[in-house]
Amino acid sequence: MEEAIHPPFMKTDSRRQNILDRIVEARRESVAHRKRVLPEVPLKMAVEKAAPPRDFAGALTRDGVNVIAELKKASPSRGVIRENYVPAALAAGLERAGAAALSVLTEEEFFFGSLTDLKEAKKVVQIPILRKDFIIDPWQVWEARAAGADAFLLIVAILTDGALRELLDLGRSLGMEPLVEVHSGEELDRAIAAGARIIGVNNRDLRTFEVRVETSLGLIDAIPDECIAVSESGLRTHDDLERLRRAGFDAFLIGEHLMKDADPAVLLRALTGVV
């Protein structure tokens, strides 16, 4: 029964390949298959028919506490987080509760997500939606735009400098400003050198899934003032967000904490201090 409720690699084996490598390897295989099913030419034709992207960067720089509320059914470290996972209903409720933007997990094997989840959320909200996935190929950026994503995630740890720049440039050519995620000073330097404008500090180490909010506090002074700074993961209270706002962060990505709650919209109001 355990295999039915947990992502497939969650074994108690200290010798297992690290989590991030396993996910990226699976993603490469998935993308290779999907590219055969849907070649780039018809995918680009679908992009031409898509509505213009919404302003993700603008949403993160509003006055107030700007939260990117994440829709996520499962995670490699926790297994299934939310049994009653209905993306459209969750998205609508979180928008009403004041979310600045949404993030939707679309990775299938380890997070049990899909692009269908993103499409369903997009139909019912007016705020921008980020595609949260392991983007390693330009084809995935075209796929994201065709599905209605307004932005997408780039994880510095899984990309070469050349790939990072290529994907940044492609996103901007399609009107999507990526959220570039880092976890260390070295990754932050690479993101800045590549020209990232929205920089997310992930407090969760994707290789071990350990979470330390101090990661954000340790890197904020090195993020250029002209960049939008986002703190991600491990944020649980209004005080957490206010502390990070005072330190210089513009926005916050919160997923698991919201998804575990019986009423994510009520919790989001408490986190942002809205009654």
Q: Among residues 107, 181, 187, 256, which one is catalytic?
A: 181
Q: Work out whether strand 74-75 and strand 79-80 pair parallel, antiparallel, or are unpaired.
A: antiparallel
| CA Rg value for the chain | 17
* Residues near 29 by beta carbon (within 8 Å), at least 6 away in sequence: none
3 state DSSP class of 200 = strand
232 flagged as catalytic: yes
Residue 210: Cβ within 10 Å count: 12
The yes-or-no answer on residue 181 being catalytic is: yes
70 given a catalytic annotation: yes
The answer to whether residue 187 is catalytic is: no
Catalytic residue among 107, 132, 231, 256: 132
Instruction: Find out whether 119 and 102 touch, Cβ atoms under 8 Å.
Output: no
Tell me, yes or no, if 66 is annotated catalytic.
Answer: no
Report whether 8 contacts 76 (CB < 8 A): no
> If residue 66 lies in a helix (H) or strand (E), which one and from where to where?
strand 66-71
- Residue 168 · residue 196 · CB < 8 Å: yes
Which one from 202, 203, 216, 231 is the annotated catalytic residue?
A: 202
- Closest-CA residue to 178 (of 191, 161, 162): 191
Tokens found for residue 157: 């740890």
User: Is 72 noted as a catalytic residue in this protein?
Assistant: yes
Tokens 């297992």 correspond to: 16
User: Which is the catalytic residue, given 66, 72, 107, 120?
Assistant: 72
- Alpha carbons within 13 angstroms on the beta-carbon side of residue 224 total 12
Q: Report, as residue numbers or ranges, the catalytic residues.
A: 70, 72, 132, 181, 202, 232-233
